[in-house]
């Protein structure tokens, strides 16, 4: 085969271009430190590198979620710790004031401290963190507890049959002590025949007639079930904002040989028929404005943890067996104000339940924080390994890359020299000059 000058020129030019391209690629790798800068460099490695990158980004998001959850839970734990301390103090006061040797004036002083505890807890219950209310469930922009509403006293424990009315009252044991906005009224029902409506009217007249002209109350009977109207509760509601009503029975203590024996409480006709027990103070309407929802945060693939404690569970008791802490404190305050020893003893039990309730919620928070910490350590280890794998797949071996760069530079220099010699060789035109 005849080899022409053009064939030599084209071959040398092609190798010169290939060596220049190879040198450029090596220079890019050395300057960037990356073995794969674009998918075309190594398609298989590029896919793996993208997978590693997505995994790292996902772990970073999980870690941000955990940081937010840890902050939220830590603030909640701190708030509940303060609540537990204040409840413990209220419990101490109740135990001390249940002593029969205490003077009514001592109990009134203790009632003032319980009132301060109540007000402290109302502030804690509406705690805000980073613009979110921590005890409102999913309603993070809502103050969960509205303490501007009216308070109402409530008779509980009525179990009636339709034939229970009308009832006849013919003795004087049916006496109630009703406290409305700090004013205590003794209500003694008159002898006579009563329907349920008559009973409501008489209680309203006697309570209303004893109140200052600036206050008023509404007395009503609310059935537990509209379909079964014979069971329900009597409500005495104050019209004063932040007012507070409660109902206790006048205690008629029978002489007993043992001073430590419980008081014997005689029942009159009305109380026997109605099954009335001591009332309690509570918010009228819906006190809790949040919901019982838990805000779930994704902390790893397929795993979500709640970052909040709903206030309805922590403060209102939530499920059956819980205690409404605010009502319990108000009942204790009322019992101290009226020097009602039996009411104080009942409040001691409520404070013990409240302490256990808050302690359980704090334990839940501790478990979640521990789980978040374990998950964080595991994800950070996974992130470290993933980054190392990505670097191994993506980054160059600098020593090898520099050695290859020198080789490519030498190859390009050789191609350039060959091209120069070809261009300097004599041609037919050289002899025609």
- Which are the contacts of 106, defined by CB distance < 8 A and separation ≥ 6? 97
Whether 71 is covered by a domain: the verdict is: no
Given this model, what pLDDT does residue 310 score?
Answer: 92
Choose between 219 and 80: higher pLDDT: 80
254 in a structural domain: yes
How many CB atoms are closer than 10 A to CB 385? Answer: 12
Instruction: Tell me what pLDDT residue 134 has.
Output: 93
Establish if 260 belongs to a structural domain: yes
pLDDT of residue 408: 66
In a domain, 363, yes or no: no
pLDDT, tens digit, 9 for 90 and up, residues 408-432: 666 666 666 666 665 566 555 455 5
Residue 293 to residues 130, 142, 178, 188, 235, Cα–Cα distance (Å): 19, 13, 37, 46, 30
The boundaries of the domain holding residue 188 are 150-284
Most confident of 163-172, 241-250, 378-387: 378-387
For residue 25, pLDDT over 90 is answered with no
Q: Give residue 233's pLDDT.
A: 67
404, part of any domain: no
> Is 309 domain-assigned?
no
Interval 383-396 mean pLDDT:
78
For residue 387, tell me if it sits in a domain: no
Query: How many CB atoms neighbour CB 367 within 10 A?
Result: 11
Per-residue CA distances from 429 to 11, 163, 215, 433 (Å)? 22, 136, 126, 7
125-167 pLDDT, tens digit per residue, is 999 999 999 999 999 888 888 776 655 554 443 434 444 556 6
How confident is the model at residue 100, as a pLDDT? 85
User: 341 in a domain, yes or no?
Assistant: no
Which tokens belong to 312?
A: 């309805």
**Domain total for the chain?**
1
223 vs 242, higher pLDDT: 223
């Amino acid at each position: 085969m005849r080899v022409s000058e053009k064939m030599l020129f084209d071959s040398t030019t092609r190798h010169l271009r290939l060596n220049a391209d190879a040198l450029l690629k090596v220079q890019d790798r050395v300057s960037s430190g990356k073995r794969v800068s674009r998918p075309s460099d190594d398609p298989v490695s590029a896919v793996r590198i993208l997978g590693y990158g997505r995994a790292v980004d996902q772990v970073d998001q999980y870690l941000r979620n955990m940081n937010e959850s840890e902050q939220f839970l830590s603030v909640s734990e701190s708030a509940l710790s303060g609540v537990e301390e204040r409840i413990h103090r209220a419990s101490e006061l109740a135990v001390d004031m249940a002593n029969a040797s205490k003077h009514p004036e001592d109990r009134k002083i203790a009632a003032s401290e319980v009132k301060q505890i109540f007000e402290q807890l109302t502030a804690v219950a509406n705690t805000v963190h980073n613009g979110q209310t921590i005890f409102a469930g999913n309603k993070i922009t809502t103050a969960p507890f509205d303490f501007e509403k009216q308070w109402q006293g409530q008779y509980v424990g009525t179990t009636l049959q339709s034939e229970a009315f009308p009832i006849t009252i013919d003795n004087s044991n049916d006496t109630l002590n009703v406290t409305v906005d700090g004013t205590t009224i003794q209500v003694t029902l008159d002898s006579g025949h009563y329907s349920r409506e008559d009973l409501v009217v008489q209680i309203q007249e006697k309570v209303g007639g004893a109140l200052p002209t600036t206050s008023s109350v509404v007395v009503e009977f609310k059935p537990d079930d509209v379909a079964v109207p014979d069971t329900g509760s009597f409500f005495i509601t104050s019209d004063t904002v932040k007012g507070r009503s409660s109902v206790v029975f006048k205690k008629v203590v029978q002489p007993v040989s043992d001073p430590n024996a419980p008081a014997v409480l005689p029942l009159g006709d009305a109380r026997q028929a109605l099954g009335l027990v001591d009332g309690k103070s509570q918010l009228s309407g819906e006190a809790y404005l949040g919901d019982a929802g838990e805000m779930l945060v994704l902390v790893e693939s397929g795993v979500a943890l709640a970052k909040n404690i709903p206030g309805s569970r922590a403060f209102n008791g939530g499920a059956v067996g819980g205690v409404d802490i605010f009502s319990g404190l108000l009942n204790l305050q009322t019992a101290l104000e009226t020097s009602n020893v039996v009411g104080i003893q009942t409040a001691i039990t409520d404070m013990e339940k409240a302490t256990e309730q808050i302690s359980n919620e704090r334990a839940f928070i501790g478990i979640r924080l521990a789980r978040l910490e374990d998950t964080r350590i595991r994800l950070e280890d996974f992130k470290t390994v993933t980054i190392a794998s990505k670097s191994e797949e993506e980054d160059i071996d600098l020593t090898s890359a520099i050695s290859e760069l020198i080789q490519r530079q030498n190859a390009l220099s050789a191609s350039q020299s060959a091209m120069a010699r070809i261009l300097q060789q004599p041609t037919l035109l050289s002899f025609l000059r």
